[in-house]
Amino acid sequence: MIATANGFDLGSLPGPDDITRHQLDNGLVVLVRENHATPTVVMDGLLRSGSIFVPREQAGLARFSTSMLMRGTKSRDFAALHEDIEGVGASLRVSAGTHTTSFGFSSLAEDLGLMLTLAADVLRHPTFPAEHVEKVRGEILTGLERRAHDTRSMAALTFNELTYPDGHPYGVSNSGYIDTVKAITRDQLVDFHQGHVGPRGGILVVVGAVKTNEVLALVQETLGEWENPAQPDPPPPPAADRIEETRQQHVAIPGKTQSDIMLGTPGPARSAPDFQAAHIANSILGVFGLMGRLGDNVRERQGLAYYSFSRLTGSLGPRPWYVSAGVSPDNVEKAIASIRDEIRRIIDEPVTADELAENKANFKGRVPLQLETNGGVAGAITNMELHQLGLDYLRNYAAMIDAITIEDVQAAARAYLDPDAYALAVAGPDGAG
């Protein structure tokens, strides 16, 4: 009998029988899934290098350093590198987050060898040309200046700083701050790359019209000899205590006509046993349909917000579980009270059977849609490997969601949310809230 979920054949989902996992001697884990339905290929990769290694006084260093990797290598200057990529109609990306540096490309399958060569060149042999250092610095500073005048961005920045203790990596901006980015030198950019970027613990996923043995041979040829003895082991995911009081800050941004609110607490790590129950609680609170209960009450019924939703971010550590809303400055206090009421309701009252059933169907039904492209499949496999979910995760997903009960959802909400203890950031025209 064929196992199905929402009428979908679970056996057609990526799983242990059609994903090959191989670890190179240098510690890089390679995963390959063949898909010959299209002539394309996607590569998705992660390295264990990010802003978690950077102190607050150098905030932005990891992202700045990574932004320089596409600016030229020992064998290709900026123009030649981009000509090689664009000449085959491909794209290549590199970016730094908190825990990892992500990289990847999409191209025709016949260009896989070229694109792996270019990706390896960018990761292993960047030159950090001085003239591009100042160009990139200028781009980053322009972005930070824009952030300072954007109510939503400043609410998010301030919320993260309130939610986590001083120096906690989730409370520090990955992009940095104007003063820290101005102070970063070229030598520091080079030193960060040489001292942190390496293959050990990295993940490389290839999905597309390829043969597995050929992919493994190409990866070995381009990245197999890569070593960085200076690469440090990643620190354990940072913990975060439950918030036991109200932490509140208002940010004044003159000339604005809207205030943005962010209210929340640290949530579960992606690997937490109650993550999926919390995920469903979050969907009911502020995602499903027209932004869940928050959209129905705060925005539609009371007319207090231009938008109102909730997000459970999930990561290697306890990223925030928060509510975001954009409101008229005159409605800030009313909107906050209404948001707290909805948080209190999902904690104190069990969700309904219909709410749970509808959200379960949504969760299960969207998985096949997310896997319609090579990029979707590659992203899912990367996520499975990074969070150690197992190669059978997608095929077990429907049963896992089906097993979640009303009691599980309420317990997860109670474990992390509190209408009387939270971090609250409001950014608006006068900051008065």
How far is it, in rounded angstroms, from Cα 302 to Cα 297?
A: 6
Q: What is the pLDDT of residue 308?
A: 96
Mean pLDDT of 259-278: 97
How far is it, in rounded angstroms, from Cα 256 to Cα 266?
A: 29
Q: Residue 430 — very low, low, confident or very high, per pLDDT cuts 50/70/90?
A: confident
Average pLDDT over the chain, rounded to an integer: 95
Q: What is the pLDDT of residue 164?
A: 97
Q: How far is CA 238 from the centre of its chain?
A: 16
Q: What is the pLDDT of residue 340?
A: 98
Q: What is the pLDDT of residue 433?
A: 47
Look at 292-301, 323-332, 385-394 and tell me which has the smallest mean pLDDT. 292-301
Look at 5-14, 99-108, 156-165, 370-379 and tell me which has the smallest mean pLDDT. 5-14
Q: Would you say residue 85 has pLDDT above 60? A: yes
Q: Residue 382 — very low, low, confident or very high, per pLDDT cuts 50/70/90?
A: very high
- pLDDT, one tens digit per residue, over 353-380 is 999 999 999 999 999 999 999 999 999 9
Tokens of 371: 């896997």
Q: Residue 6 — very low, low, confident or very high, per pLDDT cuts 50/70/90?
A: low
Q: What is the pLDDT of residue 98?
A: 97
Instruction: Write the DSSP symbol of residue 298.
Output: I
How far is it, in rounded angstroms, from Cα 332 to Cα 299?
A: 13
The CA-based dihedral angle spanning residues 9, 12, 17, 19, taken in that order and rounded to the nearest 10 degrees: -140
Q: What is the pLDDT of residue 91?
A: 96
Q: Would you say residue 3 has pLDDT above 60? A: no
How far is it, in rounded angstroms, from Cα 66 to Cα 37?
A: 34
Of the candidates 128, 111, 109, 119, the one whose C-alpha atom is nearest the C-alpha of residue 47 is 119
Instruction: Write the DSSP symbol of residue 173.
Output: -
How far is it, in rounded angstroms, from Cα 252 to Cα 432?
A: 7
Q: Which residue type does 399 have?
A: A
Q: What is the pLDDT of residue 5?
A: 56
How far is it, in rounded angstroms, from Cα 21 to Cα 33?
A: 9
Q: Model's pTM, two decimal places?
A: 0.94
Mean pLDDT of 414-429: 98
Laid out side by side, the sheet with 246-252 consists of 246-252, 422-428, 259-266, 320-327, 307-312
Q: What is the pLDDT of residue 8?
A: 54
Instruction: Write the DSSP symbol of residue 123.
Output: H
Q: What is the pLDDT of residue 20?
A: 98
| Residues forming beta bridges with residue 105, ordered by sequence position | 43, 92
Domains and CATH numbers, the chain: 15-223 (3.30.830.10), 246-428 (3.30.830.10)
What length is written for the chain?
A: 433
Q: Would you say residue 285 has pLDDT above 50? A: yes
Q: How far is CA 36 from the centre of its chain?
A: 29
Mean pLDDT of 402-419: 98
How far is it, in rounded angstroms, from Cα 121 to Cα 201?
A: 19
Q: Residue 2 — very low, low, confident or very high, per pLDDT cuts 50/70/90?
A: very low
Instruction: Write the DSSP symbol of residue 351.
Output: P
Q: What is the pLDDT of residue 42?
A: 98
The 10 Å Cβ neighbour count of residue 112 is 23
